[in-house]
Amino acid sequence: MSQFSTKLYQSTQLRPEMRINPRLYQAMELLYMPLMDLEQHLKEQLAENPLLEMVEADDQKEVELKEDTVDEPMGDDGVDWEEILLDGFDVGGRRQQFEYREYIEPTPVEAQGLHDYLHDQLRLLSISERELRLGEELIGDIDDSGMLVCTPEECVAHLNDWLEEVRPPLIARASEIADAEERADELAEIEAIFQPYEPVEAERMLTVIQNFDPPGVGARDVRESLLIQLRQRGEEDSLAYRIVAEQFDALINRHLTEIARSFGVTPRDVQDAADALSHLDPKPGLKYSIDPEQYVIPDLIVEKIDGDYMVFANDTSLPRLRISQSYREIAKDKRAFTGENREFIAAKLNAANWMIQAIEQRRQTMLKVMNFIVDRQRDFFERGVQYLRPLTLREVADYIEMHESTVSRVTNKKFVQTPRGVYSLKYFFSSGLSTTSGEDISARGVRDKIKQMVAEENARKPLTDQAIVTALKAEGVQIARRTVAKYRDQLGILSARMRKRV
Q: What is the pLDDT of residues 142-173, one digit of tens each?
A: 998 899 998 888 888 888 888 787 777 777 77
How many whole angstroms separate alpha carbon 9 and alpha carbon 495? 72
Name the domain boundary from 212, 229, 260: 212
Q: Between these two residues, 406 and 333, which has the higher pLDDT value? A: 406
| 358 lies in some domain | yes
Residue 456: which domain range? Answer: 431-502
279 in the same domain as 367:
no
Q: Between these two residues, 396 and 24, which has the higher pLDDT value? A: 396
425 in the same domain as 304:
yes
Name the region of 303 (left: φ>0; alpha: ψ -120 to 50; beta: rest): beta
| 32 lies in some domain | yes
pTM of the model: 0.60
| 108 lies in some domain | no
Asked if pLDDT for residue 458 goes beyond 90, the answer is no
| 155 lies in some domain | yes
| 93 lies in some domain | no
* CA-angle at 100, arms to 63 and 94, nearest 5°: 30
| 184 lies in some domain | yes
Count of structural domains, the chain: 4
Name the domain boundary from 271, 288, 305: 288
Length of the chain: 502
421 in the same domain as 437:
no
Q: How far is CA 288 from CA 115, 225, 319, in A?
A: 9, 16, 38
451 in the same domain as 424:
no
Q: How far is CA 175 from CA 91, 193, 195, in A?
A: 85, 16, 17
241 in the same domain as 166:
no
Q: 251-265, 310-324, 413-427: which range is least confident on average?
A: 310-324
492 in the same domain as 386:
no
Asked if pLDDT for residue 287 goes beyond 50, the answer is yes
| 10 lies in some domain | no
* CA-angle at 222, arms to 220 and 277, nearest 5°: 145
440 in the same domain as 488:
yes
436 in the same domain as 423:
no
Q: What is the pLDDT of residues 320-339, one digit of tens each?
A: 777 777 766 666 666 666 66
Q: What is the pLDDT of residues 186-201, one digit of tens each?
A: 777 777 777 888 889 8
303 in the same domain as 421:
yes
Residue 324: the pLDDT is: 74
Confidence band, pLDDT 50/70/90 cuts, at residue 101: very low
Name the domain boundary from 156, 188, 212: 212
3-class secondary structure, 442: strand
| 68 lies in some domain | no
